Every structure is written in C-alpha cells, then in structure tokens.
Amino acid sequence: MKRLARELSSLRGETAIYPHSIADVDALAGAMVLRDILKRRGITSSVHLVDTANRQARKVMEALRLPIPSALPATDADNVILVDVSNPDLLGGLQLKGKRIVAIDHHFHSNHVRGYVHVERGAASTCEAIFLLAKEMKVQLNAKQSSLLLAGILSDTAFFAGANAATFPIVAELLKKADYAKTAAFVREEPDMPQKIAVLKAMQRAQYEKAGKGIVAWSNAGSFELGAALALTDAGADFAFVANPKEGRISGAKRAAAKGNIGKIMEKAGRSFGGSGGGHESVGGCRGKPEKTQAALDECLRLSRLLLLANSKIY
C-alpha cells in the first residue's frame, strides 16, 4: 500500500479515473472515493465511465444524491487510474496508449495493463483497498464516503457471503460514520420479473453430475447468467456455470466450502473462448467468441470436476 500511495502522489498533470466496463458498485464507489482522497492530497482528478454503470450502482449513486459520471472519454488526461480492474480486456476498448497507468484491483488476472498494478489479493472488494489507501495517505473519510465504501463491500461480498477476516475490521471502522441499515437498504436488490423468469428458465434447463464428493451443474440463459449460477449453488451445486451462447459469455459460481478459485477457472476458460475471463474466489465470468461457448463451458466443467476430486492440484 505504501508503494501505491507513492505512485499516486507522484502523478502530475490531468488524471482520469475509470472503473471497469459496466461498472458495478464496488468499482464505481471505489473510483468516487479515490477521487476525493486524491483531492485531499492536492491531486486533481475526474471520474469517467468506460460505457455505463449497472443498475445497482446507479441506485446507490441516486440514494446518496451523487451524480453519475459521464461516459465521455478523457482524451486529454496525462494519467489514467483504473479501479477494480487491471485486465485490458475488461475496459471496453478504452485507449490507454501514451498515458501513465495505475491500476487498483483485487481480482485474479494474469493479463495486466502496462503500468503500475496494485492487486490487493487479501481483499474481498476493491473498496477495502481504497479504505486502506485512505489510511495510508492519512485522509479521514466523511459519512458519505464511508457509505460508498460500505456499499461497495456489501455488494461485492454479497452481504458478507464472500467476506474474509480482513473485511470485518474495515467495516467496523466504516460504521463509525456510515449507517448500516440505510446503506444495506439501497444496496439490496429485489429481482424484477424478467430476472426471475430468466433464472427459473435456466434452472429448468439445468444439468448436473456428481464429481468426487460434490456436484457440478450447468445451464444456458439469455440473460442474468450470474443470478442463475448463484441460484444453482443455492440449490446444492458445488460449482455452477451458466452460458449465454448468443452473447458469448459464461458466469460461474461456487459454494464457499468448495476448494478452488472461480476467477482462475474463468481465466483459463477465457482462453478456450478466444477471449478473456477472471473474477473472485466464489464468482466470476469469461467472454469471447460466441461460436466457442461450448469449448469454454467444457473447460469450466473439466476444471471444476478436477477440483472436486481428492488431492487435486490443477493450479
């Protein structure tokens, strides 16, 4: 964290901060608070979207009465800071040539942007890394900034289902200024009718098999693939993968007790996809050429089957 603080403090000129494509709460909240931290240290920066923010991120911004950043590219920026992303394939074609790059992430990736990349591997969310950065740079967070970071943590850990021992001390600090009940209320999402139908249809089409002492399940969906994969793990699958062959993408999830890392599986499957992939320990995704969807799904299934065998070591 000290090295990251030095890198950021040494930035000169115009600085643009970007979350990943289709920014989620963790990415956008982290970007917004990072901008404020830098401002307190005398570094002017602006937050931009690569393309858009997802529905939950927009809801959080509206609840906190914060404007949603524009998707206009900051072409004059001398520096680009990437938040919650370090893989260039997840930047929607954002042009980085000629820029000084700093990336702050917590995901597993082997393909990183060129520049300084800080991956907080022990963090369950990037907002945790931003909190630690604020402490390192001796910046006190106010109530709204604390609520933003708390919202990012709640969203990315699925209300602590994906949290670890490092998460809770940070949350305890944030709760000195953030209101948990209010923040949780605007982060929590009830699925709408299209999502409910898409998930139920995917479950109807689901297939599964026993592997070792566990179960691997898979299905297809036209939308809400991650929601369907999570529903399959809730139903008992140790690993679940839901493909969207039309769009060329796959989402995966695993039960907390299952060994392995979905992000690593998705990165390997992304190569079979002719594209890319990554994610967290428990959830992730990959995308590529639609005609290679089955090959990528087969790789997901192969790796998860191996992980469910006793004493397997595949990465």
What confidence tens digit (pLDDT) does each residue in 228-257 have? Answer: 999 999 999 999 999 999 999 999 999 988
Distances (CA, A) of 5 to 34, 116, 138: 11, 11, 10
pLDDT at 158 exceeding the cut of 90: no
Please write the tens of the pLDDT for every residue from 264-300: 899 899 999 988 888 878 888 898 999 999 999 999 9
pTM above 0.85, yes or no: no
At 216 the pLDDT is: 98
Contact assessment for residue 83 and residue 71, using Cβ atoms and an 8 Å cutoff? no
How many percent of the chain have pLDDT more than 70?
97
Q: Measuring CA to CA, which residue among 315, 165, 311, 300 is closest to residue 237?
A: 300
pLDDT at 95 exceeding the cut of 90: no
Strands 249-254, 283-287: parallel, antiparallel or unpaired by DSSP? antiparallel
Sign of CA dihedral 160, 163, 168, 170: negative
* Terminal-to-terminal C-alpha distance of the chain: 27
At 8 the pLDDT is: 97
If you average pLDDT over residues 37-66, what whole number do you get? 95
Please write the tens of the pLDDT for every residue from 170-190: 999 999 999 999 999 999 988
At 312 the pLDDT is: 66
Distances (CA, A) of 61 to 24, 144, 187, 230, 233: 11, 11, 10, 25, 30
Distance, CA of 60 to CA of 66 (rounded, Å): 9
Burial of residue 67 (CB within 10 Å: 0-12, 13-18, 19+) is: exposed
Q: What are 285's strand-pairing partners?
A: 251, 278
Distance, CA of 81 to CA of 283 (rounded, Å): 24
Per-residue pLDDT band for 49 (boundaries 50, 70, 90) equals very high
Domains annotated for the chain, with CATH where assigned, are: 2-187 (3.90.1640.10), 193-308 (3.10.310.40)
